[in-house]
Amino acid sequence: MPVVPGGAYQQGPTCFDKMKLGFTIGFCVGAVSGVLFGGFSAFRYGLRGKELFSNIGKVMIQGGGTFGTFMAIGTGIRC
């Protein structure tokens, strides 16, 4: 095993880095759930074409932003 020179210790991620990662993971999970729930509800309302994709995109951003924010807050509390 190589010897590490004194004072050159590697540090772990900062609390802000962990919060960014929590937001990113939460945003991805929220966006996927937004596609599923938004797609089913849009089909139920009878949306097709441009209106369908517009509605699904809006629900993706809303769900991703909400869940990402809560994941970032939860990660910040754990730091």
Over the stretch 36-75, which tens digit does the pLDDT of each residue have?
A: 999 999 889 888 889 989 999 999 999 999 999 999 999 9
On whether residue 59 sits in a domain, the answer given is: yes
> For residue 2, is it within any domain?
no
pLDDT at 3 exceeding the cut of 70 = no
Asked, for residue 55, whether it belongs to a domain, the answer is yes
- 24 found inside a domain: yes
Specify the pTM. Answer: 0.79
- Total count of domains within the chain: 1
In a domain, 62, yes or no: yes
Radius of gyration of the chain (CA): 20
Q: Which domain holds residue 40?
A: 15-78
Task: Give residue 12's pLDDT.
Answer: 86
Q: Is residue 6 part of a domain?
A: no
Let me know if residue 25 belongs to a domain.
Answer: yes
Residue 62: Cβ-neighbour burial (10 angstroms; 0-12, 13-18, 19+): middle
- Check if the beta carbon of residue 38 is closer than 8 Å to that of residue 54: no
Domain-located, residue 1: no
